[in-house]
Amino acid sequence: MPNFIRSLRSRTLLAAGAAAAVAATGFSIPAQAAPELQEVMFVGNNWSGTATVIKSRGDFAKIGQINVIPDKNQRLAEIYLNPVKLAFFLGIRYTVGEGHDQFVDDMYATPDGTALVASRPSFADVVSIDVTTGKLKWRFPVSGFRSDHMAVSPDGTKVAVSASTSNTVHVLDINTGKQLGKFATGDKPHENIFTKDGKYIWNSSIGEVNNDADAPEQDGRKGDRKIVVADASTYKVVKTIDMRPRLDAAGRSDLSDSVRPAVFTPDESKLYFQVSFFNGIVEYDIATDKITRVKTLPKNPDTSDDRTTYVNDSRHHGLSISPDGSKLCVAGTMDEYVTIVDRAGLDQGPLIPAGKPYWATVSGDGSACVISESDTDVVTAVDFATGQKITSVPVGDHPQRVRLAHIPVGWQSPTG
């Protein structure tokens, strides 16, 4: 018998004997304790392919950074060997990417805090990155050629991602990347929101944003835009909401029905949302199925009214709501400001200058709105109570989505 086989057999017998001895004592080997977690924010830097990790409150200081494209060379090799994939890859770069590749759109943490899960538009996938080692844990290629906005279920176990060129939402197990289900949407699915009980997923489609058919009379060339509500267990669409007749009934036939960022009130009785080309917000009452109020926000006199100059048709893109539901935070993208809006009268507060803000979320303690300034590469916190700026923190190249997350206490950026 070769020596290495004898050695392997000997080690196997010793291991079996040790296990039997432990079992005989009535004791079990304890499982490794889960790490203690700290609350942070992930900031997705779309053009550089990184996620900056910052504090979720207080001074919002930078803690570290994670490379979200550790497999970049492998992905590029696959793309450049496939003419169809290459055509879409370059199409993303020179249309929605404004001349840049889109490497990080959205991201969340797994419930145990060990991984960052991100959608990568230019690579048409969702990946899980180990926050300690920086290595890829799993990868899910979406249908079609581009991934977009995501949402995580209230229990943190499911992640829904829009596949924008196949008009599909995939729902994945956040720990394994296995697809649990999928459902069809309108053209170019965008925002996803789970209801707070986790039973439903609301998806809104924004239609075709890559053409210049931006004048109101050309609206029909923008495609099929609607909200679809899917059961989060069966993944069947249970309701479809077309905002066109509802906007018309409210006397706002001038507004696009392309629903952009949206937020529910805490009791989920109302939905507030932004639409393409519009500097303002729309209030939709869910029980009566009606548009109840529309708020037009100030224009920046230096912003052109030429709709073809708006980034992906979004004059305003970014909306969040305070935990008590009393205040809305609006990112006035092309008008280059952020403002807090009181929900009672829809009165806006001070206009805080910002460099093309592209997302709005809520701080860990609920006291501030945090926006990404895609033009100036910072995130800025604004006090919900006063409407005044708290601080700005440098992040990476072209920050977009900002999400609360939990990672291990004492975490440091992966090396290499």
Mean pLDDT for the chain overall: 92
277 φψ region: left (φ > 0), alpha (ψ -120 to 50), beta (else): left
**SS3 at position 22:** helix
Distance CA 410, CA 63 (A): 10
- CA proximity to 349, closest of 323, 315, 319, 385: 385
Give dist(CA 319, CA 302) in Å, integer: 22
Q: What is the pLDDT of residue 31?
A: 59
Contact 161, 142 (CB under 8 A): yes
Burial of 24 (0-12, 13-18, 19+ CB in 10 A): exposed
Q: Which of these CATH numbers, 1.10.10.10, 2.130.10.10, 3.30.2130.30, 2.60.40.10, describes 44-408? A: 2.130.10.10
CA distance 319 to 272: 8
- In this predicted structure, the answer to whether residue 23 has a pLDDT above a threshold of 70 is no
Quick one: pLDDT band at residue 373, thresholds 50, 70, 90?
very high
Distance from C-alpha of 157 to C-alpha of 107, rounded to nearest angstrom: 14
pLDDT at 21: 41
Better-scored residue on pLDDT, 9 or 75:
75
Q: What is the mean pLDDT of residues 174-197?
A: 98
The domain locations on the chain are 44-408
Q: Is the pLDDT of residue 284 over 90?
A: yes
Q: How confident is the model at residue 416 (pLDDT cuts 50, 70, 90)?
A: low
pTM of the model: 0.91
* Helices and strands counted in the chain (H then E): 4, 29
Q: Which of 71-85, 121-135, 203-217, 368-382 has the lowest mean pLDDT?
A: 203-217
Is the pLDDT assigned to residue 98 strictly greater than 70?
yes
Average pLDDT over residues 323-342: 98
Nearest to 116 by CA among 41, 203, 191, 171: 41
State the angle between helix axes of 72-80 and 83-94 in degrees (0 to 180), rounded to the nearest 10.
110
What is the number of other CB atoms lying within 10 angstroms of the CB of residue 30? Answer: 6
